[in-house]
Amino acid sequence: MRADAPIRDNARAGRLGPLLAVFRLPNDDPRKTLAVALALCLACSVVVSATAVALRPLQERNAALALKEEIVNVAGLSTGGRSLDEAFGQIETQLVDLDSGEFVEGADPLTYSYREAAQDPSASTALGDSDPADIDRRPDRMPVYLVRRNGELETLILPVYGAGLWSTMHGLVALAPDGRTAKAFTIYEQRETAGLGSEVASEQWLSAWSGKVLIEDGEPVIEVVKGGVDPSSPNAEHRVDGLSGATLTSNGVANLMRFWLGERGYGPFLDRIRSDRG
């Protein structure tokens, strides 16, 4: 045994003395009860934190796979016995500079996270009062997904998001080659009121968006209206029924559409798409 071992042991005992004294108290002493509770809380927090860190890579992989599946579905592509990666491989992924509307060269859109960019002041823009989607900061770049047939654009898919009543809603809108007509729409992430606002993700409500004209003369014109849309009204092609009992969630969808399809969102990019088609 080293000569300094008793000294170290005495020092350790001195540091632990107050703690050991607490645990030697009678079981009915409130100080001991509090100490045990605190020790359990600390142990549980360590276990929970370690589990969360260990599971994070798996959660991220699952989220990426789920997003790929949503993109394939909204693009109208079928796996047809192929793997999800093979089906997704039919889709061209690009990163767009929202201010210029141009594709970003030399960047990997598959590893880019617009959610992380929105939290980075160097990669996003503060919106101030020009924020109908209530997202505070807009990423300077966004991924877009293109489906081509024989070299011609067939479907353009744009990620969109914005505030609902209780949550940030994330979705994908699929546009026809004209860059103005909806082919499909999906909300794949939301935490709105069950049975009311949560219907924003229902197939029945989302299917009503197909064929709606979202943009006229370069400006978003789509409305989510309270009550039913009169099919005979002159603006019926620009309107979607609101969700019964969920006015604020319905307004949130209308607001995020107006933002992302407007000049602060994909507007410059969509102008370029329409210009390229002549």
Q: Per-residue pLDDT tens for 61-72?
A: 777 889 999 999
CA distances from 218 to 34, 90, 94, 165, 267 (A): 65, 29, 22, 29, 7
Return the residue matching tokens 């767009």: 96
Ranking 27-41, 131-145, 207-221 by mean pLDDT, the lowest is 27-41
Report the DSSP pairing between strands 223-225 and 239-241: parallel
> Tokens standing for 4?
């300094």
Spell out the residues 6+ positions from residue 154 whose beta carbon is closer than 8 angstroms to its own.
147, 148, 177
pLDDT in tens, 172-225: 999 999 999 999 999 999 999 999 999 999 999 999 999 999 999 989 999 999
Q: Is 137 exposed, middle or buried (0-12, 13-18, 19+ CB in 10 A)?
A: middle
Return the pLDDT at 58: 59
Closest CA to 143 of 119, 186, 107: 107
What CA–CA distance (Å, rounded) separates 49 from 118?
A: 25
Contact 78, 91 (CB under 8 A): no
The pLDDT > 90 percentage for the chain reads 62
* pTM of the shown model: 0.80
What CA–CA distance (Å, rounded) separates 271 from 240?
A: 24
Q: Does residue 131 or residue 81 have the better pLDDT? A: 131
Return the pLDDT at 7: 45
What CA–CA distance (Å, rounded) separates 2 from 82?
A: 68
To 10 degrees, the CA torsion angle through 215, 158, 239, 134?
-100
> Tokens standing for 138?
């807009």
**3-class SS of residue 203:** helix
Spell out the residues 6+ positions from residue 236 whose beta carbon is closer than 8 angstroms to its own.
229, 230
Return the pLDDT at 56: 62
